[in-house]
Structure formats: structure tokens, C-alpha cells
């Protein structure tokens, strides 16, 4: 039986266009150390947390609906497999729901059998369910 990939679903006050734009402002909700662009297909970006680095390529971008970040390289010094995220994908699906917007994020390849799962799940939960929600609803994220 396949393990379930990490998924978080949030509901925000902004419309789908605002949600799409704010997700791409990675340095305003996730990582203060951010280099590159994260808005259109073909964009590349890097996030850094101390010695931890993750490089992404935007594989797909459907404005106001969906964006896929492909991890092209990473260095996760706290893991035995320091490149565990390489080849995984972060899929953002954005849709209107009632008078709000629903954002579903799935980190394809981050499942309970991954060494990083517990720590990474806690990190994603904090950044998505608190910081990204606050950025969209109150224009004040809490990047690390």
C-alpha cells in the first residue's frame, strides 16, 4: 500500500488571484533567504535556512489555479539522506470555495516512510497553516 504524501488544505479570505500571487512571495511566508522567482513556468528559486538549501524549478503554472514546484536539488544536513527532497514536487491547487479560496498543497514524495516526514510535516504545517494564511488574510506572514 502506498504511503500518503503530505497534504495541507487551508481556506483563506483572498480570491484565487491573490492566493496565487501570495504563494509566489516565498520570502514573505516561508523563507527569508529566497533567491530567484516563483511565479511562472520556467522560473527557478532557492530557499535557505542556515545550512539547509532547497532549489526549485516551476514545472507548471496555471494562473490562479495551480502551480508545481519541482525540487531540482537540496541539502538537508539534519538527515542521513541529505538530498531526500530531490525529485519531489510541491503541488499547489487553488479553487474558489463559497466566498473564500481553498488552497491544497501536496508535497509529492514526502510520505510517512521518508526520514524527514515528522520534522518536515511540522515545518510545513507551521508555514502553510499559520504564516501563509496570515500573509493572505492579514498581509503579514512569518517567514523563517
CB 38, CB 57: distance < 8 Å? no
Average pLDDT for residues 28-44, to the nearest whole number?
A: 97
Residue 28 host element (H or E): helix 26-29
Tell me the sheet residues that pair with 9: 104
Segment 67-94, tens digit of pLDDT: 999 999 999 999 999 999 999 999 999 9
pLDDT at 52: 96
Sorted by where each begins, the domain ranges of the chain are 6-138
Superfamily designation of domain 6-138: START domain (3.30.530.20)
Position 2 pLDDT exceeds 90: no
pLDDT at 14: 87
- Give the whole-angstrom CA distance, residue 121 versus residue 112: 9
Segment 112-130, tens digit of pLDDT: 999 999 999 999 999 999 9
Average pLDDT for residues 37-52, to the nearest whole number?
A: 97
- Give the whole-angstrom CA distance, residue 71 versus residue 2: 21
Residue at grid coordinates 512571495: 25
Average pLDDT for residues 135-142, to the nearest whole number?
A: 96
φ, ψ of residue 83 in degrees (nearest 5): -115, 25
Amino acid at each position: 500500500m502506498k504511503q500518503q504524501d503530505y497534504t495541507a488544505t487551508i481556506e483563506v479570505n483572498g480570491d484565487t488571484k491573490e492566493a496565487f500571487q501570495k504563494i509566489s512571495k516565498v520570502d514573505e511566508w516561508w523563507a527569508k533567504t529566497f533567491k530567484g522567482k516563483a511565479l511562472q513556468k520556467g522560473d527557478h528559486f532557492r530557499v535557505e535556512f542556515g545550512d539547509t538549501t532547497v532549489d526549485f524549478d516551476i514545472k507548471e503554472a496555471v494562473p490562479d489555479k495551480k502551480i508545481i514546484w519541482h525540487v531540482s536539488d537540496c541539502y538537508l544536513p539534519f538527515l542521513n539522506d541529505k538530498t531526500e527532497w530531490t525529485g519531489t514536487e510541491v503541488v499547489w491547487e487553488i479553487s474558489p470555495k463559497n466566498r473564500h479560496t481553498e488552497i491544497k498543497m501536496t508535497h509529492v514524495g514526502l510520505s510517512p516512510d521518508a526520514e524527514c516526514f515528522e520534522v518536515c510535516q511540522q515545518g510545513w504545517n507551521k508555514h502553510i497553516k499559520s504564516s501563509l494564511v496570515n500573509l493572505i488574510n492579514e498581509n503579514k506572514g512569518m517567514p523563517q
